[in-house]
A and B are shown apart, each in its own frame.
Chain A
Amino acid sequence: MVALLKLVVIGGGILTVIYIALSIYSRRVRRGKLEAEWLVAGRPGDEDAFVEAGLKEYDGSLRRKLILGVYVMPVAVIGTIVYLTNFN
């Protein structure tokens, strides 16, 4: 069981790094898009307020939660491989 623990700890660590990096990247891309949107919309009001409101909406969105797939996918893949290798 030590080997399984090692896999979970090291694998979980790597996935957490990927999750954090992806979250930051995705938020920055969204920020860039909102800034562009603000320009296209003819600069309505304050830019920062516009971007912040958009990011707040993004934080509650499904798109944001899809990044959790970083954890879900490997677990599903490992489960499938365990089944295919040993019980199929």
Chain B
Amino acid sequence: MVYLKWVFWAVLWTIVLTFLHYTLPQHDIARITDTYEKRVDFGENSIFWANSGSGNAAAPTNRDVFFIQAFETNGKPIIYRNEDTGWGWPPYFKFDTSNLQAEASDLISKKSAATAQWVSITHYGWRNEFLSIFPNAISVKPVAGPDVRIVPWFNIILLTVLAALVWGIWARWRKFRVRREKRKVDHYTEGWG
């Protein structure tokens, strides 16, 4: 039974951390090399693509999706999709996909460029080659160079608030349980034991 408890908590923590890692914003320092649009036929991976309903038809089987190609500071390629999240999940409320694509095209900087233009790309999601899934770019901002460090203030604050909230509810739940146990014991003394 002890092992069952361990497995339960391990699975729960894995789910929670995986969910947060997918959903929370991250910043990549990268060099955009191209932006393009390609038709995507959604299959088993459809859950990893936006289902925004920001004016367009809901849940089509295929559509054109914007992509942003980039190279990270370590020289490895990273491809982002650029999709509206609309009013759906995750709650980025992104409607400016076309504007973002324009900004990204404006910041293109190839390897051959005399002075490389580095950008900070805010995104959520994962790149997975086996599932053909891409992180969704939220915003691009030009930065001074490849060594810039972005402090994830939003994540720090959100995780702190989340931890405080969970702890607050958990502490109250425990107090409630302990009191109920005690009341059973104190029954004969009418709660004055």
Residue numbers of A with Cβ under 8 A of B are 2-4, 6-7, 25, 78, 81-82, 85-87
Contacts and interface: CB of A to CB of B under 8 A. Distances in A.
B53 A2 contact: yes
Contacts of A78: 91, 93
B96 A7 contact: no
B110 to A, nearest CB: 28
Contacts, number: 34
A44 B15 CA distance: 54
A87 B92 CA distance: 13
Given A3-B52, A7-B88, 7 more contacts: A2-B58, A3-B53, A3-B87, A78-B93, A85-B93, A86-B93, A86-B94
Which 6 interchain pairs have the tightest Cβ spacing?
A3-B53, A3-B87, A86-B96, A7-B87, A82-B93, A4-B87
A86 to B, nearest CB: 4
Contacts of A87: 96
Interface residues of B, number: 17
B54 interface: yes
A85 B53 contact: no
Interface string B62-104: 0000000000000000000000001110011111100100000
A63 B54 CA distance: 38
Contacts of B99: 86
Nearest to B92: A85
B93 A3 contact: no
A7 B96 CA distance: 19
A49 B70 CA distance: 71
A85 B87 contact: no
B98 to A, nearest CB: 11
B35 interface: no
B95 A86 contact: yes
Contacts of A6: 87
Given A2-B53, A2-B58, A81 B87 contact: no
B24 to A, nearest CB: 13
